[in-house]
Amino acid sequence: METFKYIKPTSLNEAIEALQKYDNAFVLAGGTDLLVKMKYRTIRPDCIVDIKAIPGINAFEFNQGWRFGTLITVRDIEVSSTLEQKMPFLVQAAKALGSISIRNRATLGGNLCNASPCANFGAMFLALNARVKIVSHKGIREQSLQDFFIGPSETVMRKGELLTEIIVPKDESKSEGVFLKFSVGKSNDLGLVNIAIALQRDTGKNHCKKISIAMGAVAPIPMRASRAEAILTHNPLTPELIASAAKAAADEASPISDHRASADYRRHLVQVLVTKGIKSLCNA
């Protein structure tokens, strides 16, 4: 039987000390990914640091931008009347993640730190130009989410560091948005492709002032469709331009072929979902 040290700190300092002390320490937040990896022995922890008793990292607020604590559960986002009114696309992303039992446990910070290419919030927060706050014994640093992911299950997080907050810039609070996922089986299955779009229009017009298009499950990490964004920015959202941007997004994607879908099919899905997402925002 595998043995490991279990620590449940009540402060950030205690958590950071434990993460720094042990060579093979893992953070336990919701545990929906960690416990599966332990069960199948893809990881063998020396220490589990359970951060659920640390205060101040399990809420969200608007303070010069949206600030989300790492321990907020997916269910917290799903049922929030505030977010339903202000950022309904985040609620869309939450509802599309797993079953309700998973959403009750899974945390926002865990979803990002697990660094799955198909993570719902990886794409959605990438489209919102989010940053993450990371603490360690050296202090606090902020990292753009664009540079946070470096590979499947890999981030820029170093030994002894803990992600505590996800920050959406104030300007992004003006965005309309949409999250779309296509899966083969049940709606709670992993997405073959995820698309997240954040759009700012000139008042009263279908004219794009600014747009972000993020794609999940089409590359080793969640990625932005920068060429597609450039086609639409500062231009009218005509059917022709939308079709051109959707095609560009599909061309930018670099998916793999596996037992669930071919790379060509995933590119086709990108084109379909980007078109659908932008048109849904135009008609909102």
Q: What is the CATH number of the domain that holds 157?
A: 3.30.465.10
The answer to the question of residue 55 being in a domain is no
Domains in the chain: how many in total? 3
> In 159-180, which positions are buried (b, 16+ CB within 10 angstroms) versus exposed (e)?
ebbbbbbbbbeeebeebbbbbb
Q: CB 262: neighbour CB atoms within 10 A?
A: 12
| pLDDT tens, residue by residue, 53-82 | 999 999 999 988 999 999 999 999 999 999
Q: What is the CATH number of the domain that holds 215?
A: 3.30.390.50
Would you place residue 190 in the very low, low, confident or very high pLDDT band (cuts 50, 70, 90)? confident
Question: What's the whole-number mean pLDDT along residues 168-173?
Answer: 94
Question: Which residues constitute the domain of residue 136?
Answer: 60-171
The answer to the question of residue 104 being in a domain is yes
Rounded Cα gap, residues 254 and 218, in angstroms: 6
Rounded Cα gap, residues 68 and 111, in angstroms: 13
Residues 76 and 142 in one domain: yes
Would you place residue 2 in the very low, low, confident or very high pLDDT band (cuts 50, 70, 90)? confident
CB-based contacts of 214, cutoff 8 Å, min separation 6: 122, 123, 124, 126, 127, 195, 196, 197, 222, 223, 224, 225
**Sequence-ordered strand ranges (E) for 137-201:** 139-144, 149-151, 154-155, 162-169, 176-182, 193-201
Residues 232 and 258 in one domain: yes
Residues 162 and 237 in one domain: no
Rounded Cα gap, residues 271 and 33, in angstroms: 30
Residues in the chain: 284
pLDDT of 284 strictly over 70: no
Residues 237 and 272 in one domain: yes
Q: How does the average pLDDT of the chain come out, rounded?
A: 95
The pLDDT of residue 133: 98
- Does the pTM surpass 0.85? The reply is yes
Give the largest CA-CA distance in the chain: 64
The answer to the question of residue 26 being in a domain is yes
Would you place residue 88 in the very low, low, confident or very high pLDDT band (cuts 50, 70, 90)? very high
pLDDT of 187 strictly over 80: no
Residues 167 and 70 in one domain: yes
Helix, strand, coil tally for the chain in percent (to 5) = 35, 25, 35
Q: What is the CATH number of the domain that holds 40?
A: 3.30.43.10
Residues 81 and 129 in one domain: yes
